[in-house]
Amino acid sequence: MTSDRTAHIERTTSESSVDLTLNLDGTGTSKIDTSVPFFDHMLTAFAKHSLVDLAVKSTGDTSIDIHHTVEDTGIVLGTAIAQALGDKAGISRFGDALVPLDDALAQAVIDISGRPYFVHSGEPAGFEHHLIGGHFTGSMVRHVFEAITLNAGLTVHLTVLAGRDPHHIAEAEFKAFARAFRQAVSLDPRVKGIPSTKGAL
């Protein structure tokens, strides 16, 4: 089991440029600048409630749409998670969190399984079309978590159980994911080696 569960990744395409540093054993500090203010807010909440240290600098063709920059940042974050986890020895592996935010209630269940699978449900009709903060479409919430899940090798079930305000719904989803993630990546001193009967994750 490696004691240094960190990653630094730089990724540049014709659509975006992302520089990201992650420490799974942090204290929740963050420095986020994705050029998309609401996404900055969500990633800051993710770091705070998962207790990871996260630094992100992203730029891209936001004059066209925020889609590329946001999704590509999710891809890099997922890749960094996989890299920082290493062989996954000693981790708790599973996490489950139920998080309210005023009118909204979201649940996230995570298995660091090595098998990417994302199940997402419960967002109210029309949420995907709503502009949160005037620039971040509700549909991007799913895109971000798909990108993280697929590139980190996670199984994630993310469910919105209640909610009226789009900002609250999105934030409850990010915070629920963060809390479940915090449990799943935590090191359990009782776990010896890889927490799988297969011997690998």
Residue 63 has pLDDT above 90, yes or no: no
CB 190 within 8 A of CB 117: no
The pLDDT value recorded for residue 197 is: 87
Residue 1 has pLDDT above 60, yes or no: no
| The CATH number of domain 6-185 is 3.40.50.12780 | no
Confidence of residue 64 (pLDDT cuts 50, 70, 90): confident
What phi and psi values does residue 55 have, to the nearest 5 degrees? -125, 125
Mean pLDDT of 42-68: 96
The pLDDT value recorded for residue 170 is: 98
Q: Got the DSSP string for the chain?
A: --S--EEEEEEE-SSEEEEEEEETTS-S-EEEE-S-HHHHHHHHHHHHHHT-EEEEEEEE-TTT-SHHHHHHHHHHHHHHHHHHHTT-TTB--EEEEEEEETTEEEEEEEE--SS-EEEEE-PPTTGGG-EETTTEETHHHHHHHHHHHHHHT-EEEEEEEE-S-HHHHHHHHHHHHHHHHHHHHSB-TT--S-SSTTS--
Whole-angstrom Cα distance, residue 156 to residue 66?
Answer: 24
What is the percentage of the chain residues whose pLDDT exceeds 90? 91
pLDDT digits (tens, 9 = 90+) for 20-44: 999 999 999 999 999 999 999 999 9
Residue 57 has pLDDT above 70, yes or no: yes
Domain residue ranges in the chain = 6-185
The overall average pLDDT reported for the chain is 96
Q: Is 120 exposed, middle or buried (0-12, 13-18, 19+ CB in 10 A)?
A: middle
pLDDT digits (tens, 9 = 90+) for 94-136: 999 999 999 999 999 999 999 999 999 999 999 999 999 888 9
